[in-house]
């Protein structure tokens, strides 16, 4: 024992005289930035790449790492000098076989990797990437691209709260927060059975913006749309059903906020929905008293519907043209119907034309009135029939004329002789 003790003392003395020695880190103390090695049982301060009181580049070593130590005679302790270089040939070969992250570095390139597999790489060309697992961000100066690749890409504002949807943008796999530290990944029916290893994911683009009172301003969801709280939740969730009771492909809600206070009117918003069949539904806020306005400064506005097109206004419907005319046509006919009075007011005149029969039926009577002359012309004749008396009067004169001229004779009650079948007069005429 005494001889062994002397041998160790001699060995330590030689190491001090040589200046440096190699050792293996046995423990790491993160609380005070020190390690212990198999060279001695005392704490050794970690030599970070750079460290000062106001700025630093720090890296924490792992147990089992080989380091170079130098004995400091003034403190009678070992100082951390450097890490012992690795034998990298095996790791480089594994990288070539896609079995290691220890990549080949060319001149001027840099790489930082953590124990957990987070890697940041700076290339010798204009390229930088950061990657951990399936999540990767790249800056490519040659292609002028910034690319983020991940199952779900999330951008969050400073007022975002981790236990709810709000102040964020999402793109990719649908996930919903359950608590501040737990979230649920939305799986689709029917091919999702997590217990059997079957997963079918849902995908979305979501944008939600709130104000400083945490009141929602805008909520846009596109792709496969789900509510904040998925139902039923396990093993899969059902999509949100829109106004037409179909799954929705796009849902945009523009919430009503009383400005400038920023106070929300509960469950009041203008909503646009596009379902999976392409049907579009707009529902305006209850406070949208001006309504839905479309302005086309130049050009036209065209609505083409293969089936029925309908406009309903509770207080009225107005169609007008400030320069041209208003045209209404219907291949199967035009029907005007109202329980109230029907009025037509045309300052320059009214022209009505039909290739078929023209009927005017008024149960309460009909009045045709004009300050000027009124003419009724029939190409093959004019028939006037009434179940009661027929009265023709004029303040000046009343004349009935035929093709043979006016005779001035009284109109017979029977227009022709029942024996000769000849008219009683050449041209019966009635004058007042």
Q: pLDDT exceeding 90 applies to what percent of the chain?
A: 46
User: Which has the higher per-residue pLDDT, 217 or 400?
Assistant: 217
Q: Give residues with Cβ within 8 angstroms of 419, minimum separation 6.
A: none
Q: What is the separation, in whole angstroms, between the first and last Cα of the chain?
A: 161
Rounded mean pLDDT of the chain? 87
Contact indicator for 60, 46 with CB cutoff of 8 Å: yes
- Cβ proximity of 245 and 273 under 8 Å: no
Residues 45-59 have pLDDT tens digits of 888 889 898 999 999
Show Cβ contacts of residue 202 under 8 Å, excluding neighbours closer than 6 positions: 173, 174, 186, 187, 188, 223, 224, 226, 237, 239
pLDDT score of 409 more than 90: no
432 pLDDT exceeds 50? no
Q: Is the dihedral of CA 122, 28, 65, 117 positive or negative?
A: negative
Residue 399 has pLDDT above 80, yes or no: no
Q: Is the pLDDT of residue 412 over 60?
A: no
Of the two residues 112 and 9, the one the predictor is more confident about is: 112
Token digits of residue 116: 């957990």
Residue from 265, 266, 160 nearest 212 by CA: 160
74 or 13: which leads in pLDDT: 74
Euclidean distance between CA atoms 46 and 60, whole angstroms: 8
Q: Which of 111-120, 134-143, 364-373 is the least confident region?
A: 364-373
Instruction: Give the CATH class of 2-83.
Output: mainly beta
**E-assigned strand segments in 200-315:** 203-210, 216-223, 231-232, 237-238, 248-258, 263-275, 280-283
């Amino acid at each position: 024992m005494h001889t062994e003790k002397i041998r160790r003392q001699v060995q330590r003395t030689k190491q001090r005289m040589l200046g440096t020695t190699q050792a293996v880190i046995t423990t790491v103390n993160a609380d005070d930035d020190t390690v212990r090695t198999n060279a001695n049982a005392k704490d050794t301060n970690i030599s970070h790449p750079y460290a000062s009181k106001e700025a630093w580049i720090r890296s924490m070593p792992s147990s089992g790492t080989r380091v170079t130590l130098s004995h400091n005679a003034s403190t009678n302790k070992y100082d951390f000098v450097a890490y012992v270089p690795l034998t990298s040939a095996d790791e480089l070969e594994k990288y070539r076989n896609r079995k290691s992250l220890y990549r080949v570095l060319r001149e001027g390139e840099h790489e930082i990797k953590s124990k957990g597999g987070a890697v940041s790489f700076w290339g010798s060309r204009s390229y930088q990437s950061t990657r951990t697992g399936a999540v990767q961000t790249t800056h490519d100066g040659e292609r002028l691209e910034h690319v983020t690749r991940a199952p779900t890409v999330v951008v969050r504002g400073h007022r975002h709260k981790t236990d709810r949807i709000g102040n964020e943008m999402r793109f990719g796999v649908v996930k919903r927060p359950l608590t501040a530290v737990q979230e649920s990944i939305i799986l689709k029916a029917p091919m999702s059975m997590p217990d059997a290893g079957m997963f079918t994911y849902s995908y979305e683009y979501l944008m939600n913006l709130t104000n400083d009172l945490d009141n929602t301003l805008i909520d846009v969801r596109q792709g496969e749309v789900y509510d904040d709280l998925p139902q039923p939740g396990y093993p899969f969730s059902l999509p949100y059903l829109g106004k037409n009771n179909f799954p929705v492909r796009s849902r945009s809600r523009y919430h009503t906020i009383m400005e400038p206070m920023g106070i929300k009117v509960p469950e009041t918003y203008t909503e646009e929905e596009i379902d999976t069949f392409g049907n579009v539904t707009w529902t305006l806020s209850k406070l949208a008293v001006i309504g839905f306005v479309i302005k086309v400064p130049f050009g036209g506005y065209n609505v083409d519907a293969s089936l029925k097109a309908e406009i309903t206004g509770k207080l009225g419907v107005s169609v007008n043209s400030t320069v041209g005319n208003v045209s209404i046509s219907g291949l199967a006919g035009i029907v005007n119907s109202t329980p109230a009075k029907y009025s037509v007011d045309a300052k320059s005149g009214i022209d009505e034309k039909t290739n078929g029969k023209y009927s005017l039926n008024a149960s309460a009577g009909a009045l045709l009135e004009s300050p000027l002359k009124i003419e009724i012309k029939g190409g093959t004749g004019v028939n006037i029939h009434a179940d009661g008396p027929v009265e023709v009067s004029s303040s000046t004169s009343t004349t009935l004329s035929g093709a043979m001229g006016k005779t001035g004779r009284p109109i017979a009650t029977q227009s022709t002789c029942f024996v000769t079948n000849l008219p009683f007069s050449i041209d019966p005429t009635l004058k007042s």
